[in-house]
Amino acid sequence: MSDLIDPTPPPEPSEVEVSQTSERDSALAAVLRITHPGPPAVGEEESTLRLVMYFQAQKIEQYLVDTGSVPLALDDAGPVFRGMEYIRLTNRDYRILGRTERVTLSYSSVEPLDVFVGTGVSVLDLLAFN
């Protein structure tokens, strides 16, 4: 019975193997060094925020179509994107404030959404939605 079990543990790796592995890993780490790209340009951040606010406004507009009035709270229209604040002005009008660390924007439902999105129109074909 005891013939099947080897009482001696397997040998530990030698110091040379460990040191070779460590040198190889250090060389790979130097080649594969990943650096943080840093924040986007403020213009890009603003354009992105405008698009996010566009999508948030679309949820509110769909809620308006479905129920006949804008929601009392923003999350009534569905999930809320980060940095969004909602102000209900009337049964049909609202304002969205969008914030990042460096950019704050305000959109009022009385202004055309495609004008607000601005350069983001190149990403979205807003005329197809109107």
Mean pLDDT across 7-35: 60
pLDDT band at 11 (very low <50, low <70, confident <90, very high): low
What pLDDT, on a 0 to 100 scale, did the predictor assign at position 40?
78
The angle at the Cα of 129, spanning 77 to 86, to the nearest 5 degrees, equals 30
Token match 């006949």: residue?
68
pTM: 0.65
For the chain, which residues make up each domain, given as ranges? 42-128
Per-residue pLDDT band for 118 (boundaries 50, 70, 90) equals confident
Please indicate whether residue 48 or residue 23 has the higher confidence score (pLDDT). Answer: 48
Residue 128 has pLDDT above 60, yes or no: no
Which of 61-66's residues contact partners 24+ apart within 8 Å by CB, and which partners?
64/92
Taking the C-alpha atoms of residue 43 and residue 35, their distance in angstroms, rounded to an integer, is: 22
**Both tokens assigned to 32:** 């594969």
Average pLDDT value over all residues in the chain:
81
> pLDDT value at position 29?
60
